[in-house]
Amino acid sequence: MNKIGSVEVITGGMFCGKTEELIRRLRRATIAGQTVQVFKLAMDTRYDPNKLVSHAGDDYDAIPVNKAGDILEFLDETVTVVGIDEAQFFDDEIITVVDELAERGIRVIVTGLDTDFRGEPFDPVPALIAQAERVDKLQAICMVCKEPASRTQRLVNGEPARYNDPVVIVGAAEMYEARCRLHHVVLIG
C-alpha cells in the first residue's frame, strides 16, 4: 500500500509558538512509532546549532543544513515524518523539496513566518501555505495592548525598524516582539 504524503504548515508571527507546536507534533509522531527527521538552516544558531529550541525552552534534535537541497541529501530512507523549522530562512528550493518529500509519501511539517517585519508576505512561506493540506496560523500576545498579535515588530535600539532595513536578520526577544495590527509600526524612509 502506498502511503499518501502531506504538508502541514504552522505559521504566524514571532513568539506565537510555531516551533513549540512543531516539537509537540514531532514528539507525538515518535510516540506513535513513526521515524522522524528534523532539519533547520545552519545559519539559525539561536539557542543551539543542533536542536530546534522554542522560545519557551522546548527542544528537539535537528540536522543543520546550508540550503534546502541538503535536506534530500541527508534524508534517511526510513523516515516517515520530516520537520522543517523557520522556512522563511530557506531559499525558494524549499518549495520543491517539500513537495518532493510529500510525493514520496512523507508527512512534512514546516514552520515559518508568514509575514516579515514590514507586515508583507515572507517568501517562500506563502507558496508552502498554498501547497499544504493543513495550515495552522497561530497568534502571540501583543506586547503593547495584550490582545492577540499576528505581526512581528522589529526594534532597532528600542525603536521600530525602517521599511528599507534588511528583511532577514536572525534574532529573538532582543530585537523582535509580537504586535497586533494596531500597534505594529514600520518607519518609512
Show the domains of the chain with their CATH numbers: 6-138 (3.40.50.300)
If you ran DSSP here, which 8-state letter would residue 161 be given?
A: P
Amino acid making up residue 23? I
Rounded Cα distance between 112 and 138, Å, is 11
The answer to whether the CB of 16 falls within 8 A of the CB of 152 is: no
Of all residues in the chain, what percent carry a pLDDT higher than 90? 80
Radius of gyration in angstroms for the set of CA atoms belonging to the chain, rounded to a whole number: 16
Instruction: Name the catalytic one among 8, 20, 21, 86.
Output: 86
> Does 77 participate in catalysis according to the annotation?
no
**Torsion angle, CA of 95/99/102/107, rounded to 10 degrees?**
10
Structure confidence at residue 48 as a pLDDT band (50, 70, 90):
confident
pLDDT digits (tens, 9 = 90+) for 58-67: 889 999 999 9
Most distant CA pair in the chain, distance: 58
Name the residue with cell 514546516. Answer: 110
pLDDT digits (tens, 9 = 90+) for 74-97: 999 999 999 999 999 999 999 999
Q: Of 12, 46, 6, give the one whose Cα is nearest residue 125.
A: 12
Specify the pTM: 0.93
